[in-house]
Amino acid sequence: MSKLYSPESAAIGVEQALRLLEGRWKLIILFHLFDGKVQRYSNFEKLIPEISQKMLAQQLRQLEADGIVSRMVYPQVPPKVEYRLTDWGQALCPALDAILKWAEKRKV
């Protein structure tokens, strides 16, 4: 943490934030957690059939590490794991909603 922040640090923050959303599947995953929805691992596999297990696990781990998604493990057999948005992740909902609306305008 020896690096000092310049007055332009806000702009840098945006680019850093964007990098957290990069990745072939992250936004798609987030759309399925939109609006407080809770998903299990196997749910995602059904919702996003094209994704491989590897990528699903990897992207979820990254989203978790970045504080966007929270992972809740129930210590039972068979295992049960739930994913939901963190508070900060919830703050993305307006953006997700705006992207949704934008996509719809394409058809017109």
Partner DNA sequence: CCGTATCCCGCTTGATACTG
Partner DNA sequence: CAGTATCAAGCGGGATACGG
List residues near DNA by CB under 7 A: 23-25, 40-43, 50-55, 57-58, 60-61, 71, 78-81
- Segment near its own copies (CB under 8 A), from 35-43, 54-62, 70-78, 87-95? 87-95
- The answer to whether residue 3 forms part of the interface with its own copies (CB under 8 A) is no
The arrangement of strands across the sheet holding 69-74 comes to 39-40, 80-85, 69-74
Helix (H, G, I), strand (E, B) or coil at 70: strand
- The answer to whether residue 92 forms part of the interface with its own copies (CB under 8 A) is yes
- The answer to whether residue 33 forms part of the interface with its own copies (CB under 8 A) is no
How far apart are the C-alpha atoms of 96 and 92, rounded to whole Å? 6
The entry of DNA, its own copies, none near residue 28 (CB within 5 to 8 angstroms by kind) is its own copies
- The answer to whether residue 55 forms part of the interface with its own copies (CB under 8 A) is no
47/81 with CB nearer its own copies: 47
- The answer to whether residue 1 forms part of the interface with its own copies (CB under 8 A) is no
What tokens appear for 106 in the block?
A: 């394409």
Query: Whole-angstrom distance between the N-terminal and C-terminal Cα of the chain?
Result: 49
Q: How far is the CB of 7 from DNA (least distance, A)?
A: 25
Q: Which contacts of 9-17 are long-range, i.e. CB under 8 A and separated by 24 or more positions?
A: none
How far apart are the C-alpha atoms of 90 and 70, rounded to whole Å? 11
